[in-house]
Amino acid sequence: MPQGHQDSGLTHKPTSWYVSFKETDYMAPRQSPAKEKLIDAAVKVVREKGYNATSVDDLCREAGVTKGAFFHHFPTKADLGIAAAEAWKLHANDLFGNAPFMAQDDPLDRILGYLDYRRDMLDGPIGAFTCLVGTMVQESYDTLPALREACQESIWGHARTLVDDIEAARKRHGVAGDWTAESLALHTQAVLQGAFILAKAADDPQAARDTADHLIRYVRMLFNLSPEKGNP
């Protein structure tokens, strides 16, 4: 085990961060109530039905607003998707930036705490824990470039929040290798996005949890730890 490292021992089980989307102050500055309701509706319905299968009528019905209100705020469904992608990034960064594992002193504990936290969220209805931007980009990457770019920025932007801790952990624990903190941060997101797809394909959250467990083992071994917690 690298000198100075101890498993964090955090046992806090998070509620689904996607379930609590409405509870997060993710808008700065605050938007009009109708606009906020539409963004909330997009987050919920698109994850349940997919981007292409979600109609403007579906979004208005979920938000409890008229079509006139929809088109007052968003010229197209894609414009709402772009706004939702930005809100999603702010929500994710706020949630994880204030999570219990961030109190750990060792940056490696914060990285592993983040991965444990993500793994523990993979429970309950699949639509409640899958990723909004991952869902949207799979259906729009070749047809709606502005939406694709917004989804990329949301995913890449969240990955960037991990980079400083990864780099600090490498230096603190003397870990070398032909890889960068940026590449590992993106790798974590690639594996998690794949985990969501597997859960959808199997209609079973366990497929996602198994994938997240392998990611945790990989990162532990990358930092010269035993792949399993509690082992020297």
What are the sequence ranges of the domains in the chain? 88-222
Helix 181-202 crosses helix 145-173 at what angle (to 10 degrees)?
120
- Contacts of 188-195 with C-beta under 8 Å, sequence gap 24+, read 188/115, 188/159, 188/162, 188/215, 188/219, 189/155, 189/158, 189/159, 191/215, 192/118, 192/131, 193/131, 193/134, 193/155, 195/122
Going residue by residue through the chain, which has 232 residues, state the pLDDT in tens, using 9 for 90 and above: 444 455 544 445 554 544 445 444 454 455 689 999 999 999 999 999 999 999 999 999 999 999 999 999 999 999 999 999 999 999 999 999 999 999 999 999 999 999 999 999 998 889 888 999 999 999 999 999 999 999 999 999 999 999 999 999 999 999 999 999 999 999 999 999 999 999 999 999 999 999 999 999 999 999 999 998 766 5
Burial (Cβ within 10 Å: 0-12, 13-18, ≥19) of residue 9: exposed
The token pair at 138 is 């799979």
- DSSP secondary structure letter of residue 16: P
CATH 1.10.357.10, applies to 88-222: yes
What integer pLDDT is reported at residue 127 of this predicted model? Answer: 87
CA distance 199 to 211: 10
CA distance 67 to 98: 36
What integer pLDDT is reported at residue 10 of this predicted model? Answer: 47
Cβ contact 140:78 at 8 Å: yes
